[in-house]
Amino acid sequence: MTQALNKMAKETNQKLTQMKKIVLLVLVVFQLSACAEMQQVMNQFPQTQGIGGIDISAGLKEALNNGISKQVVKLTATDGFYKNEVVKIVLPDELRKVDAGLRKIGLGSLADDGLKVLNRAAEDAVKEATPIFVDAVMNMSFTDAKTILMGNENSATAYLQNTTSTALYGKFNPVIKNSFTKVGADKVWANIITKYNLIPFVQKVNPDLTDYVTNQAMTGVFKMIAVEEKNIRTNLNARTSILLQRVFAMQDKY
């Protein structure tokens, strides 16, 4: 009886030992598989095909610089805002009643001039944007570049917007204020507001046009950069350098 029990105990221990070995082997295989899988993922990220971190950053910077040089510069020309329906500054809600009121009393040409000079002031102010954008692009990190490359069609524009908006507003606001004088907007709008406020029974207005045009000019700038970014991301012919072709090929793959 004792001999039989000893034999059973010995066989049980052998089975337990064998099971432990199997479990250990499974764990080792699982870990090796996981490591291999992780390595495969790492290998697929933009280090393949000779694309290193510097190339990614350089490619994104080139794309942004293209947006600045090709699109933002267009806004600085005469009618760059006024005749571009994508970014044209229209009157804020509170001034649409002013526009309508002036036209009712035969002052449509004055209303037209008022809209035009707002756009002229924006065109003048945007000339100050380029140095701020260049500084933001130069300071882009490798982490920023990776996030942007694998992001949506306006990720680079969003990065620029997040990193430059405060500086742009600070730069644009006084420039637009000066531009109002330079392009005659202050006189035109002083005349418009005076004439409108003389119309019987209307609610008098005194809008902050400097703040409004500043924000509208900034919105227009980012819209045009987004146009160029989308073009580079979706149109192979817009990738005009080998660097852009190589970097954005990684985006296409994913």
Same domain, 128 and 25: no
Same domain, 154 and 222: yes
User: With a cut of 70, which residues of the chain have pLDDT below it?
Assistant: 1-54, 254
* pLDDT value of position 54: 55
Domain containing 15 equals: 1-44
Question: Can you tell me the distance from the alpha carbon of 5 to that of 211, in angstroms, rounded to the nearest whole number?
Answer: 94
Angle made by CA atoms 205, 206, 212, in degrees to the nearest 5? 115
* pLDDT value of position 86: 93
Same domain, 126 and 202: yes
Same domain, 168 and 125: yes
Same domain, 127 and 154: yes
Instruction: Kindly report, residue by residue over 40-80, the tens digit of the pLDDT.
Output: 322 333 433 345 565 888 888 888 888 888 888 899 999 99
Same domain, 128 and 242: yes
* pLDDT value of position 52: 55
Give CA torsion, residues 101, 106, 112, 117, to 10 deg.
-80
Question: How many domains in the chain?
Answer: 2
CA 236 to chain CA centroid, Å, is 20
pTM metric for this prediction: 0.70
Same domain, 121 and 236: yes
Question: Can you tell me the distance from the alpha carbon of 46 to that of 40, in angstroms, rounded to the nearest whole number?
Answer: 12
* pLDDT value of position 26: 29
